[in-house]
Amino acid sequence: MQLADTIVALSTPPGRSGIGVIRLSGPRSLEIARAIVCDEQFTPEPNHARLQTVYDLESRDALDRALITYFKAPHSFTGEDVIELSCHGSPVLLRRLIDLVLTLDARLAGPGEFTLRALSNGRINLSQAEAVRDLINAQTESAIKQAARQLRGELSNYLQPIKDALLDIIVPLESSLEFVEDDLPDVAVGRITQSLSELTEKVERLTATFRAGHLLKDGLKVTLAGRPNVGKSSVFNSLLSSERAIVTDVPGTTRDSLSEVVSIEGIPVLLVDTAGVRTTEDKVENLGVERTRRAIADSDLILVILDGSEPLTVEDKEVLAEVGDLPHLLAVNKSDLESFSLNGLLAEASVPVIPISAKTGAGLDELRGAILKPFAEGGARDAGLLITDARHHDLLRRTQGALQTSALLLEQRASEELVLAGLYDALRFLGQITGETTTEDILSQIFATFCIGK
Ligand SMILES: Nc1nc2c(ncn2[C@@H]2O[C@H](COP(=O)(O)OP(=O)(O)O)[C@@H](O)[C@H]2O)c(=O)[nH]1
Ligand SMILES: [Mg+2]
């Protein structure tokens, strides 16, 4: 990755908007800004927005009045000279401006390249860079809060004392290797064993938060299944609080799967409304039924909807057979109707049975609670620092393993070299979380998951 060049990207989403922001970073940023405002003396005060006319360099026509903000190196997000142009949000205008900037010896930024530069210039560490990405991708408020904690450096602050303590063990071990002929004295072994077990426990505690953290970031996929007309689309709409799916009393109305993310206690739940499962002659509906089968197979939980105003039908039983032992719960809909009954399901079923009415909203809170219950008690509202990233989780588990191996070797009075090897591994794994010991190809893999312009 070359850092000597100047990069440019649209930092706001493509499409029409009130304002569109173009960002430049690198040594030529100010020079390029001077060119497009057609003023060689243009020297904006750093960190202050200036309203300027920007020009088409070829035709000399004024293109827009834009707010230009200059962030002087090293006091910018990337640590380099940065120019931000806040223009009116016309895609044509923004495209033209970027094309002009590209003729002035800048190049288009790759995904996450601004953040990568911030990392390379020591403005943030790797876990903070990942937090920037997670903040942008967050699907619920709780996920935003977690990403913001990581961005503030909470993860690196938790890990730093662990790394320091590891060094405190490594240094005397190394010197005993050099200077002492005999084995380590028992007191020293006891002390090291004690601090190793404390460190392992700290790492374990953090590793264990991944279950909740993973859920918070990646959420759950919940598929609604049931024969036509039981009220799947109505339940879908009620859980979303919107009229997203078409509801009619004509069986087979929903032909394709629809999905939307809804936040349940801060956890993003991808709800999938399906065509339902039934045998039909209708070609389009049959394709929908096929998709339902696939959605059922790869969801975390299946919400089987039954119509409590009628006795169970053969089709209902087919759906239940289809779901089989997959994780599911039964929502018995239309509890507002006179003829409603749970059909003896409570006594029979081995999974939760929840009476609901999509029409009145009765039982929907219980349903939300039951959806989350197998995954997270109490949601993620007031959780402490959580590990949300699979990469971090993997590295923490490896750290744990390395520490345990070292402790075992120490107990067996193996040579110091062997004990040290595990400690160095642990240190390296922790360093990969914050980026000190992360290799180039891992870095490029991580940054490939960023959006362009960030
Ligand atoms: N009384 C009553 N009718 C409902 C309820 N939920 C859905 N319905 C009706 O049942 C019919 C089928 O609903 P829909 O959501 O399209 O079912 P789907 O085919 O399973 O998606 C429609 O006429 C709805 O108005 C409910 O809780 N109570
Ligand atoms: Mg439907």
Hey, what CATH topology would domain 131-209+387-435 get?
Four Helix Bundle (Hemerythrin (Met), subunit A) (1.20.120)
Q: Between the CA of residue 244 and those of 139, 241, 255, 259, 414, what are the distances in Å? A: 18, 9, 14, 9, 65
Q: 221: Cβ below 6 Å to ligand 1?
A: no
20 three-class SS? strand
The most distant pair of C-alpha atoms in the chain lies apart, rounded to whole Å, by: 89
- Each residue's pLDDT expressed in tens, for the chain with a length of 454 residues: 456 899 999 999 999 999 999 999 999 999 999 999 999 999 999 999 999 999 998 899 999 999 999 999 999 999 999 999 999 999 999 999 999 999 999 999 999 999 999 999 999 999 999 999 999 999 888 899 999 999 999 999 999 999 999 999 999 888 877 776 667 778 888 999 999 999 999 999 999 999 889 988 889 999 999 998 999 999 999 998 866 666 766 666 666 678 899 989 889 999 998 876 666 667 766 666 777 777 888 899 999 999 999 999 999 999 999 899 999 999 999 999 999 999 888 888 889 999 999 999 999 999 999 999 888 764 555 568 999 999 999 999 999 999 999 999 999 988 889 999 999 999 999 999 999 888 888 888 899 888 888 8
Please give the distance, rounded to the nearest whole angstrom, from the Cα atom of residue 40 to the centre of ligand 1: 68
Return the structure tokens found at 294.
Answer: 């696939």
User: How far is Cα 262 from Cα 266, in angstroms, rounded to an integer?
Assistant: 9
Q: 């230009």: which residue's tokens?
A: 68
User: How far is Cα 30 from Cα 32, in angstroms, rounded to an integer?
Assistant: 5
Please give the distance, rounded to the nearest whole angstrom, from the Cα atom of residue 348 to the centre of ligand 1: 25
Q: 């009229």: which residue's tokens?
A: 243
Return the CATH superfamily for domain 221-372. P-loop containing nucleotide triphosphate hydrolases (3.40.50.300)
Q: What is the pLDDT at residue 252?
A: 63
Q: 């088409």: which residue's tokens?
A: 56
Ligand nearest to the CA of 357: 1
The upper half-sphere exposure of residue 382, i.e. CA atoms within 13 Å in the direction of its Cβ, equals: 1
Domain-wise residue ranges, the chain: 6-123, 131-209+387-435, 221-372
- Under 8 Å between Cβ of 28 and 106: yes
Which residue is closest in CA terms to ligand 1's atom 8? 231
Please give the distance, rounded to the nearest whole angstrom, from the Cα atom of residue 139 to the centre of ligand 1: 29
11 three-class SS? coil
Nearest ligand 1 atom to the CA of 356 is 27
- Under 8 Å between Cβ of 288 and 257: yes
Nearest ligand 1 atom to the CA of 246 is 16
Q: 278: Cβ below 6 Å to ligand 1?
A: no
Q: What is the pLDDT at residue 114?
A: 96
The upper half-sphere exposure of residue 229, i.e. CA atoms within 13 Å in the direction of its Cβ, equals: 10
Across 184-325, the runs of DSSP E, i.e. the strands, are: 220-225, 258-264, 267-273, 301-307
User: How far is Cα 356 from Cα 310, in angstroms, rounded to an integer?
Assistant: 14
Which residue is closest in CA terms to ligand 1's atom 9? 231
With a CB cutoff of 8 Å and minimum separation 6, the contacts of 104 are: 28, 31, 32, 35, 36, 57
Q: 231: Cβ below 6 Å to ligand 1?
A: yes
Q: 359: Cβ below 6 Å to ligand 1?
A: yes
Backbone angles phi, psi at 2, to 5 degrees: -85, 135
Across 252-403, the runs of DSSP E, i.e. the strands, are: 258-264, 267-273, 301-307, 328-333, 353-355
Return the structure tokens found at 101.
Answer: 């900037």
User: How far is Cα 375 from Cα 266, in angstroms, rounded to an integer?
Assistant: 13
Please give the distance, rounded to the nearest whole angstrom, from the Cα atom of residue 344 to the centre of ligand 1: 21
Q: 265: Cβ below 6 Å to ligand 1?
A: no
Ligand nearest to the CA of 333: 1
- Under 8 Å between Cβ of 127 and 433: yes
From the list 224, 225, 289, 223, the residue with the least C-alpha distance to 252 is: 289
Q: What is the pLDDT at residue 297?
A: 83
Q: 254: Cβ below 6 Å to ligand 1?
A: yes
Return the structure tokens found at 45.
Answer: 């005060």
- CATH number (3.80.30.20, 3.30.1360.120, 3.40.50.170, 1.10.287.1080) of 6-123 reads 3.30.1360.120
Tell me which DSSP letter residue 357 carries.
Answer: -
Q: 232: Cβ below 6 Å to ligand 1?
A: yes
